[in-house]
Amino acid sequence: MDHANHPRLTPDEMTEAVLTGAPIYDPEGQTVGTIADTHGAGPDMSVVVDVGGILGIGSKPVLVPLRDLDMMRDENGDVHGLTRHTKDELKRLPEHRQG
């Protein structure tokens, strides 16, 4: 998938409602996870990415600063993001625990 022409999200679009459920792709274009939750707001926002697993089963939630993701919309208007990390690199991050 060529992301070069996908419009990037504006700061006003960086909300829980817009980001939750967005797939995250690695540099090779493979899906590495999905945004499950958000923490904070503005430039310091972080997102919980469920890495690996199938339909959320067996996935590992990790906390990723939103600034580390390139968030955009595809030709259909669907939100997705790119990370410079591989799935294995994300899986090595500490597991995020709610509460």
What is the DSSP code string of 17-61?
HHHTT-EEE-TTS-EEEEEEEEES-GGG-EEEEEESSBTTBT-EE
The CA distance from 55 to 75, in Å, is 24
Bridge partner list, 33: 24, 51
Cβ–Cβ < 8 Å for 8, 74: no
pLDDT the model gives residue 55: 62
Domain limits of the chain?
11-91
Tokens of 95: 């597991």
Tokens 């600063």 -> residue: 65
Q: Hey, what CATH class is 11-91 in? A: mainly beta
Tokens 């493979």 -> residue: 30
pLDDT the model gives residue 99: 64
Residues of the chain scoring pLDDT < 50: none
pTM of the predicted model, to two decimals?
A: 0.91
